[in-house]
């Protein structure tokens, strides 16, 4: 008796009556696979679709995120990054590249100017004003240093006069035969110490005002001047680059470089013009402020010194009142904010 050959279920292909492949078993397999997976695992649902053997297409695996029994399919195709998603490392590398290129161009321009090979843009009127400002700053710093020395020496002299007056007053009480002589000298030294303290207040006010002018107002203007000079070097560096490119051949390779160089040159030219305008305005306002401040301080210094050495105590005190200078009484602390209110 002939044995019946065992059937291989994997080799069976169900066919319908019209000759098409029956895919009902395939859908049943996908359904059984779906129910066999535990729910809530957060896995992506996978659907396997097969085609007939006569098809030229390969099997397609479609994946989607499983969300409560519903599937969100993702379309296949090239991955496109959104514009707002940028790599921080690439941005930093780009910034470093631009900074290095700019530094190289500026350094080359500075060396060329020092060697006398490169040309530089010069505003004669503005450069003259800047040179005068720097020279005046050095002279004002010297005046400030000498005034501080005078203040220190005057403070020491006033301190010595006060101690000498106390010593004369003590001897006046203990020496009956020289009571009047010691008393006159004690009063004189105490009066000199008092006038010296008044003069010291005027000199310190002069020092504070000149210090503000030199180390804040003028220094702020010079910082703007430094920014202007940096903008000038960058402008000349990119101008030289553009001139070199214009002297070379013009073809498909050089035209984009020339266009980019023209764009960078225009941007640095606008920056240079803006900084030059800022420096001009600051120099103008600085000159007006300097004349006003120094006029008042020089009048104060002269009147206070003249009144002190003339022994005119009333004029010395009037000078301080004219400039609203209040002296701090030795040994008396400033009132608290509660007392002021």
CATH code of the domain covering residue 272: 1.20.1270.60
76 within a domain of the structure (yes/no): no
Give the length of the chain: 341
In sign, the C-alpha dihedral spanning 118, 123, 128, 131 is negative
Q: Record the tokens describing residue 146, joined without a space.
A: 């000498």
176 to each of 83, 173, 188, 255, how far by Cα in Å?
100, 7, 19, 106
Q: Which residues contact 25 (CB under 8 A, 6 or more apart)?
A: 14
For the chain, helix, strand, coil in percent to 5 are 70, 5, 25
pLDDT at 32: 52
pTM of the model: 0.63
46 forms beta bridges with 63
pLDDT of res. 100: 84
- Is position 31 within any domain? no
Q: Which residue has the tokens 């003249």?
A: 306
Please check whether residue 200 is in contact with residue 305, taking contact to mean a CB–CB distance below 8 angstroms: no
pLDDT at 298: 93
Task: Give which of 222, 218, 243 is closest to 121, Cα–Cα.
Answer: 243
Closest listed residue to residue 140, CA positions, set 297, 307, 305, 288: 297
- Residue 204 region, left (φ>0) first, then alpha (ψ -120 to 50), else beta? alpha
Q: Give pLDDT, residue 336.
A: 45
The number of C-alpha atoms within 13 Å of 7 and in the hemisphere containing its C-beta is 3
Q: Give the angle 182-186-190 at the CA atoms, nearest 5°.
A: 175
Assigned domain for 214 exists: yes
Residue 211's domain comprises: 135-320
State the Cα–Cα distance between residues 273 and 287, nearest whole angstrom.
21
Residue 289 lies in a domain: yes
In a domain, 150, yes or no: yes
pLDDT score for 145: 95
Q: What is the pLDDT of residue 329?
A: 55
Low-confidence ranges of the chain (pLDDT < 70): 1-86, 327-341
**pLDDT given for residue 159 in this prediction:** 94
Residue 230 maps to a domain: yes
- Per the domain annotation, does 95 fall within a domain? no
Q: What is the pLDDT of residue 114?
A: 83
Residue 59 maps to a domain? no
Contact 316, 304 (CB under 8 A): yes
Tally of domains in the chain: 1
């Amino acid at each position: 008796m002939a044995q019946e050959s065992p059937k291989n279920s994997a080799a069976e292909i169900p066919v319908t009556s019209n000759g098409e492949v029956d895919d009902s078993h395939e859908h049943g397999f996908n359904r059984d696979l779906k129910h066999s997976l535990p729910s809530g695992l957060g896995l992506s649902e996978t659907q396997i679709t097969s085609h007939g053997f006569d098809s030229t297409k390969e099997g397609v695996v479609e994946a989607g995120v499983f969300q409560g029994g519903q599937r969100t399919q993702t379309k296949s195709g090239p991955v496109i990054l959104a514009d707002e998603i940028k790599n921080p490392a690439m941005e930093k590398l780009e910034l470093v590249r631009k900074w290095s290129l700019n530094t190289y161009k500026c350094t080359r321009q500075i060396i060329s100017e020092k060697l006398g090979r490169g040309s530089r843009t010069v505003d004669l009127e503005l450069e003259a004003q800047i040179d005068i400002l720097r020279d005046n700053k050095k002279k004002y710093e010297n005046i400030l240093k000498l005034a501080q020395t005078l203040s220190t020496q005057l403070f020491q002299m006033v301190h010595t006069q006060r101690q000498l007056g106390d010593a004369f007053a003590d001897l006046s009480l203990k020496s009956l035969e020289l009571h009047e002589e010691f008393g006159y000298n004690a009063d004189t030294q105490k009066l000199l110490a008092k006038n010296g303290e008044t003069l010291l207040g005027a000199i310190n006010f002069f020092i504070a005002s000149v210090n503000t002018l030199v180390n804040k107002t003028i220094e702020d203007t010079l910082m703007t001047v430094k920014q202007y000079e940096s903008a000038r070097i960058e402008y000349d560096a990119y101008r030289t680059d553009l001139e070199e490119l214009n002297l070379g051949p013009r073809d498909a390779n050089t035209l984009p470089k020339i266009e980019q160089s023209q764009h960078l040159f225009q941007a640095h030219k606008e920056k240079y013009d803006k900084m030059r305008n800022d420096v001009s305005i600051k120099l103008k306002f600085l000159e007006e402020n300097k004349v006003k401040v120094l006029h008042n301080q020089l009048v104060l210094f002269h009147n206070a010194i003249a009144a002190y050495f003339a022994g005119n105590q009333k004029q010395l005190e009037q000078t301080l009142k004219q400039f609203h200078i209040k002296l701090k009484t030795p040994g008396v602390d400033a009132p608290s904010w509660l007392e002021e209110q």
